[in-house]
Chain A
Amino acid sequence: MESIMPDMQPMNQTVQETPQFRVLTEDQIEQIYFAALDVLERIGSRVHQDEALELFRNSNEAVVSEDKRVRVPASLVERALKTYPRKITLQGRNGKRSVALQKDHVYFGTGSDLPFTYDRKTGERRRTTYKDVTDAARIVDALPNFDFFMSHGIVSDVPNPQTYDRHQFMAMLEGCTKPMVVTSVDGEGLEDLWKMACLFQGGEEEFRLSPMFVAYIEPISPLTNDHSAVEKLLFAAEKGIPAMYTPCPSSGATAPATIAGMLVQSLAETLLAAVMCYLKNPGMPLIMGGVTTVMDMRTTTYSYGAPELSLASAANTDISKWLNLLMFSTGGCSDSKWLDEQAAIESTLSLLTAFLSGANLVHDVGYIDSGVNASLESLVMNDEIIGMVRQVGKGIRTDDEGLALKVINEVGPGGEFVTHDHTYAHWRDWFFPKLMDRSDWETWNSEGSKTMSDRVNEETQRLLDTYEPQPIDDATRKGLQEIIDAAEKRHSK
């Protein structure tokens, strides 16, 4: 064989093993960035929280107007941007450091707080319950392609809406051992969730080294920061809790109708948060976010299935890498009311785009009904899609083993590869479908002519019937309950 394949080192080669994907050039990123700096210098952003206003005033650089508008010079923004970590490693309640956020590491997870759920027994659309969240948690814990968990649904069957977040976190912990992204009512809520997590981790310092969750916080576009969001952000900064401050602008409604304009505005919103956190506690783990999409001009829906969502999110990820910030992005979601062809199409497009863009945390996987309805089946279907997407991301090896010239020679014209050692060594590199059907017609027909939807339903039921997560030990459970009870007591007054 050596005579066929001379031993040589190729020169002037660009060899890559994974697909390369970019939406913006570096010049475009700079245009957007400088425009965002200009927004903060000229227009500013309104902040409805006194401590934050005080921090800005005391900086002696930011200018705070009577109407709570904060304007920030570029020099302060650029100083703040230099302080953020480029790596955050999250661990689950099982102690596994399973999510290493760093450049081009992509992890997938659910979204949070969906108010409605289709009841699997009655088919009726009803409010989401504690059990629904625990079920979603179990399914995410079981599915191999989900790396982190957000609550999927919002618990409605709790004593007090002001303390729902503690119960919801408990429901999440019951079912899932993976790292999480959490929502909370306010600063006090976030503090309780953080205390709950510290029980698993053995204290604040351990949490800071390898946090169990990231706090999800959002401003209100355009350029508005409400009291509770800022309170949460400042608490996260103080304690070193990773947080994303994720603008959710809808192009044409709460942001310009051009994607570039929306990116400028949402970047300005992010940069303001970056300065605020810097003034509170330089170097706290801030993650860039942005659910950047369009408002549908027929229905006014904030679209989760729009191709613009994928395009703008990928562009935002380009910007985040240029800024050396970690990125919280979006994919695997749909506007469809039911888990159908539309849901599959929209989910696939946004998952693939988010993955290729190299965003770090891709959330909202499994959302249907534009972020209103929860669907366990959608989680199961999306797990398969993520598996396929990750396979595309593996790229192609072109070393000697990959080129397989020796094997082609050994088999020769008219031979077969199926029993060759090379095949035996490599067939496991492929994606193996769990839900995609590749059987012949007769087999498919004789096994009940099942559609994708049938198979997704069966797998969902199988997981619900059989999967048990690692339990929470009694001592920790007791500590968790005490925090929840104390919150109830405070709020029952």
Chain B
Amino acid sequence: MAVDFGKMADLLIAGKVEDVSNMTQEAIDEGLDPQEVLQNGLIAGMDVVGQRFKACEMFIPEVLRSAKAMSAGMDKLRPLLSESQAKAAGTMVIGTVKGDLHDIGKNLVAMMFEGAGFKVVNLGIDLDTQVFVDAVKEHKPDLLGMSALLTTTMPRMGEVVNALKEAGIRDQVKIMVGGAPVTGEFAEEIGADIYGANAASSVDKGREAVGK
């Protein structure tokens, strides 16, 4: 019996984490192409979630449930995807800069990117500049996301950009910054690539910037 991708997408839209995970496993066991499962099941569902969110028909708690379901499916698929396919889904490193213990905004962005199929390395909060540099070297992400809620910690984001330049790896990665006091002008000033005004638009802009 063939796996019904429409049903898989519906389960994902409904935020059924376990069901999506199980159904992804079934699809794998049936020997379906993992890339096909990803595109026609998971991503098809998340696309609907994105549209409904924009139309105010779905709200953050529901979107995050769907994102979690997506992420659960991706965990099953990722080991089976070819290197290029896995790469195609995207990788992101994200963290809150030194001196700032604010977690939630950055976590929301991380969860939304997982929902978009990205592999997200969430470094945490209050991070030394060197931690970001090391993570970029290690994970070779498409995107580096940095967050600050305080005007006093905002300048740390510029320091990370400079440190990446000094390490010669600035151009390997697109840099995204966000947080309540951050603006598009500030992002430009410190040499970041993308300003994310909110979790949803961060995902849109991030995907566009890295072509995912």
Contact = CB atoms under 8 A, between A and B. Distances in A.
B60 interface: yes
Nearest to A420: B61
B40 interface: no
Interface string A200-236: 0000000000000000000000000000000000000
Contacts, number: 37
Contacts of B62: 424
Interface string A421-448: 0011001000010000001111100000
Contacts of B60: 418, 427
Given A414-B103, A427-B59, A442-B184, A419 B197 contact: no
Contacts of A414: 101, 103
Contacts of B119: none
A419 B103 contact: no
Contacts of A419: 61, 64-65, 68, 111
A442 B178 CA distance: 12
Interface in A141-166: none
Interface residues of A, number: 13
Contacts of A441: 197
B2 interface: no
Interface in B148-200: 183-184, 195, 197-198
Contacts of B107: 416, 418
Contacts of A439: 198
Given A414-B103, A418-B104, A419-B111, A442 B201 contact: yes
Contacts of A443: 197-198, 201
A455 B140 CA distance: 45
A93 B108 CA distance: 48
Contacts of B108: 418
B104 A416 contact: yes
A435 B111 CA distance: 28
Nearest to B198: A440
Interface of A: 414, 416, 418-419, 423-424, 427, 432, 439-443
Given A419-B64, A427-B59, A427-B61, 11 more contacts: A414-B101, A414-B103, A416-B103, A416-B107, A418-B60, A418-B64, A419-B61, A419-B68, A419-B111, A424-B62, A432-B59
8 contacts: A414-B101, A418-B104, A418-B108, A419-B64, A427-B59, A427-B61, A432-B59, A439-B198
